[in-house]
Structure 1
């Protein structure tokens, strides 16, 4: 079964970037600490990243995050989805207009200009096609940014929420939760590793 999973690293005070995020400072000031676990050599942290990447049939992201990862200081041969773990899923970008050019031409990009629900539908079609070809269940993963995931949560478009809770307080930045729409969560798992606590919840609709 193809699920829609929101998967993101977050600070103890609920921010997914530090202050001042932008193309040259993607995670904002201090935001790099949120993702320490993803670049760790700890076996358990590598396992969590590897398993999540392996189940990704398609990945959805917002335009601002795309501009960061496709920018000159973004992903390269050593930095990318899954931080070097296996798999290169299809990527679906929610945007008001497609970019004129893409630097990361080795990845499969689809740009959807008709809103987040349509982007998730396109991603589900790509994930289901990939699952059919591989013979295993694959998911749609919302990787961010925070505004995109927040909008999906508020609209009830997410099945599973996975948070990588970093032991850092940022004080300000991009909040994940805006309090606009309450949701009931059922905890599925908690895993503690040296650099984060990994929490997975089913979302009741």
Structure 2
């Protein structure tokens, strides 16, 4: 079964970037601390990253995040989604307009201009096709940014919420949840490591 998993790093005070994010500093001031776990040598951090990326049949992201990862200082062969861990899942971008060009032409990009629900539907189709081809269940991972995950969560599209709680207070920045309707979560996993506390919830 293909699940829709929202997966993102977050500070103790609820921010997924630091203050003043920009094209040059996508995570804002101090925001790099949110992703320390993803580059650590802690065996549990490595295992969780490997397991999460291995189940990715398609990945959804917003246009602002796409512009960062496809920009001149963005992803390359050694950095990026699941670098060194998985193959190349399909990437589905929620955007109001299709970019004129793409730098990372070696990745499978789909651009959806009709909203997050349609983007998730396209990603589900891609993940299910990859599941059939590979003979194992793969999921859709919504990797961000915060507005994209928040919109998907508010629309009731998310089955699983995976948070990587970084031991940092950013003070301000991009919040993950703003005016979210009440929602019941069922805790499925808590894994403390040297760099973060990894939290897994089913969304009811």
TM-score of the two chains, using structure 2 as the length reference: 0.98
Distance in 2 separating the partners of 1:81 and 1:114:
24
Instruction: Name stretches of at least 5 consecutive residues in structure 1 with no aligned partner.
Output: none
- How do 1:21-170 residues align onto structure 2 when only pairs under 5 Å count? 21-170=21-170
List per-residue Cα deviations over 1:2-33 (Å, max 9, x = no partner): 00000000000000000111211010110000
**Contact preservation (8 Å) 1:38, 1:83:** no
Are the structure 2 counterparts of residues 110 and 128 from structure 1 closer, same or farther at C-alpha, using a change threshold of 3 Å? Answer: same
The residue aligned with 1:185 is 185
Distance in 2 separating the partners of 1:84 and 1:76:
11
Deviation, structure 1 residue 179: 2.5
Distance in 1 separating the partners of 2:107 and 2:49:
19
**Contact preservation (8 Å) 2:165, 2:198:** yes
List per-residue Cα deviations over 1:22-72 (Å, max 9, x = no partner): 211010110000000001111111110000000000000000000000011
**Contact preservation (8 Å) 1:39, 1:83:** no
Distance in 2 separating the partners of 1:84 and 1:113:
31
Distance in 2 separating the partners of 1:144 and 1:135:
27
Deviation, structure 1 residue 102: 0.3
TM-score of the two chains, using structure 1 as the length reference: 0.98
Distance in 1 separating the partners of 2:77 and 2:132:
28
Aligned length: 204
Distance in 2 separating the partners of 1:34 and 1:114:
30
Distance in 2 separating the partners of 1:84 and 1:64:
24
Distance in 2 separating the partners of 1:27 and 1:159:
26
Deviation, structure 1 residue 87: 2.4
The residue aligned with 2:13 is 13
The residue aligned with 1:2 is 2
